[in-house]
Chains A and B, each alone.
Chain A
Amino acid sequence: MGDCRLMVAFARHGSMNRSISKLKYEAVVEVLLKEGVSDPEGVAILDAVVSLGYGSVTKVASGKFFRLMLHAEDEHSAADVVTEIAERLLSNPVLEDFRVRDLISANS
C-alpha cells in the first residue's frame, strides 16, 4: 500500500526534477546476498572456477548490479533517492544487502 504511493511519489519527483533542469548523476547499486544466506549460484560458479584450474579461489558470491541515471539538485539528494530505490525495490531486505557505489556526476 505504502509502496504503491511511494512509486507515484518517485514518478512525480522525477518529472519535477527534469522541469527544473537539475544536475545529472549516474549511480551504481550492487546487491549481494546477506552473509549466512545460502548462495547456490555462487557455489556452482566456484565449482566451475576451481575445475578450470583456479584452485586459489575460495569463494564466489553472486549478485546483481544496476546502473541508474537520474537528475538531482546535488550529490546528496541523488544518493538519497538511489538509496531509497535500492531499499524499496532493488533489494529484498530478508535476503540481500545493497551498496550504492560510484555515484558520479554525469554532466559533460
Chain B
Amino acid sequence: MSGKVAVVVFPGTNCEHDVVRALTLVGLRSELVWHGQGSLDDYDAIVIPGGFAHGDYLRPGAIARFSNVMAAIIDRANEGTPTLGICNGFQVLTEAGLLPGALQKNSGLKFICRAEKIEVASVASIASSTIVPNQVIELPINHFEGNYTISQDGYEKLLENDQVVFRYLDNPNGSIGSIAGISNAAGNVVGMMPHPERATDALLGSTDGLLIFESLKAKIS
C-alpha cells in the first residue's frame, strides 16, 4: 500500500483532472486508471469522477458497470477500500449495485448547473469523517439525472443505518429526502451528485469541496 488514489477514467469521463488537482491540494497522490485495467491492488482509495461514461448510453453508468475495472472496484469496495463516486461516478456505483437506489431524470426535466447549499447529514462516511455534523457547505451540481430514487423501505433503511451523507437545503431535482449523497452500510463507499472537486479555490466561489477530500485523506493515512 502506497497512500495512492486511483482516479478511474472511462471513455467519456471528463472531471478526472479536476479530481487529481483536488487530491493534490490536500496532499494525496493519485493516478489516472483506464477502465480496461483489471486490478487496483496498488491503490488505497478509488475515486470515480464525473462525466458521461460510455456516452451515458442506455442509462448513466449502465454500460460502465461492465468495464473490466468494475470487477476490481467491486472487490476492493467490498474489502473496505474507501471508494467515492462523484456525479456520473455515483450513477456508476448504483448501477454496479455498490450503492442502493438509482438516479433518475431531474423532476423539472432540466439540466441544472449551479451552486447548492448542502447539509452534511452524516459524518460516519469516508467522505465526511472530518466535517462538523450538520455543517452546511456549498458545492456545485451539474447534472440531468440526479433525482435520487429508492423505495420507501429502502429510504427508511438508509435513515436507520445513517447512510444519508449529504442533503440539499433546497431540493433542486426531486430527490427523495433531498438526498445529495449516500454511503453503503459500512460507510466506505460514497456516491454524491455535487462536485467537490469544483469547489477547491476561493476564486471559483467555494473551497468547501476540500473538506470531502480531507475526510478521504484521513481514511487513507
Seen from chain A, the residues whose Cβ lies within 8 Å of a Cβ on chain B are: 1, 3-4, 7, 37-38, 40-41, 44, 89-90, 92, 94-95
Which residues 85-120 of B sit at the A interface, judged by CB distance below 8 A?
A: 94-96, 100-102, 104-109
Q: Known interface pairs A40-B108, A41-B109. Does A3 touch B102 (Cβ–Cβ under 8 Å)?
A: no
Interface stretch of the complex, out of B5-13, B60-68, B204-212? B60-68
Q: Which residue of B lies closest to A44 (CB)?
A: B109
- Residue B202 CB within 8 A of the other chain: no
- Residue B149 CB within 8 A of the other chain: yes
Residue contacts A-B, CB under 8 angstroms, 20 given: A1-B74, A3-B66, A3-B96, A4-B68, A4-B70, A7-B66, A37-B104, A38-B174, A40-B106, A40-B109, A41-B105, A41-B109, A89-B58, A89-B66, A90-B58, A92-B95, A94-B94, A94-B100, A94-B102, A95-B104
Task: Give the distance in Å from the alpha carbon of A68 to the alpha carbon of B147 in the complex.
Answer: 30
Contact B65 A3 (CB under 8 A): yes
Q: Known interface pairs A1-B71, A94-B150. Does A40 touch B66 (Cβ–Cβ under 8 Å)?
A: no
Report chain A residues within 8 Å CB of B96. 3
Seen from chain B, the residues whose Cβ lies within 8 Å of a Cβ on chain A are: 58-59, 62, 65-66, 68, 70-71, 74-75, 94-96, 100-102, 104-109, 147, 149-151, 174
Selected contact of B71 from candidates A4, A38, A40, A90, CB within 8 Å = A4
Report chain A residues within 8 Å CB of B104. 37-38, 95
New A-B contacts (10) at CB < 8 Å, excluding given A4-B68, A4-B71, A38-B147: A1-B70, A3-B65, A4-B66, A7-B66, A38-B104, A40-B107, A40-B109, A40-B174, A92-B95, A94-B102
Grouping DSSP codes into helix (H, G, I), strand (E, B) and loop, the A interface class, with mixed when no group exceeds half, is helix
Report chain A residues within 8 Å CB of B65. 3
Task: Give the distance in Å from the alpha carbon of A3 to the alpha carbon of B62 in the complex.
Answer: 11
Report chain A residues within 8 Å CB of B102. 92, 94-95
Q: Known interface pairs A92-B102, A94-B150. Does A1 touch B75 (Cβ–Cβ under 8 Å)?
A: yes
The 3 nearest A-B residue pairs measured at CB: A94-B102, A40-B109, A1-B74
Selected contact of B101 from candidates A1, A3, A7, A94, CB within 8 Å = A94
Task: Give the distance in Å from the alpha carbon of A7 to the alpha carbon of B96 in the complex.
Answer: 14
Selected contact of B107 from candidates A38, A89, A94, CB within 8 Å = A38
- Least CB distance, B204 to chain A, in whole angstroms: 30
Report chain A residues within 8 Å CB of B71. 1, 4
Task: Give the distance in Å from the alpha carbon of A41 to the alpha carbon of B174 in the complex.
Answer: 14
Task: Give the distance in Å from the alpha carbon of A1 to the alpha carbon of B65 in the complex.
Answer: 9
Task: Give the distance in Å from the alpha carbon of A52 to the alpha carbon of B62 in the complex.
Answer: 35
Task: Give the distance in Å from the alpha carbon of A88 to the alpha carbon of B148 in the complex.
Answer: 20
